Amino acid sequence: MFSRRAFTPTLACLLAALGGGARAASPVWVSHDIPPFLWRGAKGPEGYAFQLFQRVVKQAGVVADLHIYPWARAFRMLQTGQAHAALVVTRTFEREAQYRWLFPVGRFRYAVITRQPLGAVLGDLAALKSLRVGVLRASAAHSLLAATGVPQLVEGKDFNELLALLNRGIVDAVFGPEPVLRTLDTRAGGEGVGITPIKQAQEFYAVAGTTMSDDGAQRIRAAYQHLVDTGVVAQLRKTYPDAWFAD
């Protein structure tokens, strides 16, 4: 028979264990600040990807916590299993087999923004080889430029930092998703000499990491498909047209 003194800490331990299990059962999602897809608003996260995320997890009947970090940290958390899923990840051939791709959260093309006329049409990646180019750390864009042979890459933790480097003349150009560059340049007063699209469409996806179960991933996919079938996704795309580039 338990004494009252012995029972109290035992009960506390049981409750703590149950509470810890409940927290562990809630999938941790990570992303980065990348408007117009996802950004920190005055009252919390906003944007197409966030609104879609909320509807998908609700439809799936799961509780999920979304945390916003600089992209390199968010991506490392996904890779190391600290996060169950990431919300805005560029889908590439190199990454295809590494993750389970849950649902699309945006479509875009890359672009280059400059502050000084460069005397050349930046219509392809080869034109960037003579420039100091700012690019997001650990991003697919960084891998793309490195593979193309662009030698002078300057990394930034986020696009605000990269545009600050551009304004200070530390880089000649910033390379990234066109909607992101246009959104942030407009917020800054539209000082860009030019934003030149690169003809290469890409998609952002929500992805599952190694710590999300197959059943959990399937529930998320099924929930998204339900939202497609009921017209919710189409309506959201109309609300956030900048998040979905059409050829």
Measured from the Cβ of residue 163, the count of other Cβ atoms closer than 10 Å reads 25
- This prediction has a pTM of 0.86
Spell out the domains of the chain, with CATH numbers in brackets: 26-107+203-243 (3.40.190.10), 108-201 (3.40.190.10)
Cis peptide leading into 27, omega within 30 of 0?
A: no
CB 94 within 8 A of CB 207: no
Strands 173-177 and 100-114: antiparallel
Q: Using 50 as the pLDDT threshold, list the residues of the chain that sit under it.
A: 1-24
pLDDT, tens digit, for every residue of 224-236? 999 999 999 999 9
Instruction: Give 105's contacts (C-beta < 8 A, 6+ positions apart).
Output: 37, 38, 48, 49, 52, 53, 87, 88, 204, 205, 206, 243
**What is residue 2's predicted lDDT score, i.e. its pLDDT?**
39
**What is residue 247's predicted lDDT score, i.e. its pLDDT?**
64
Report which of 165, 195, 164 is spatially closest to residue 180, judged by C-alpha positions: 195
**What is residue 201's predicted lDDT score, i.e. its pLDDT?**
84
**What is residue 122's predicted lDDT score, i.e. its pLDDT?**
55
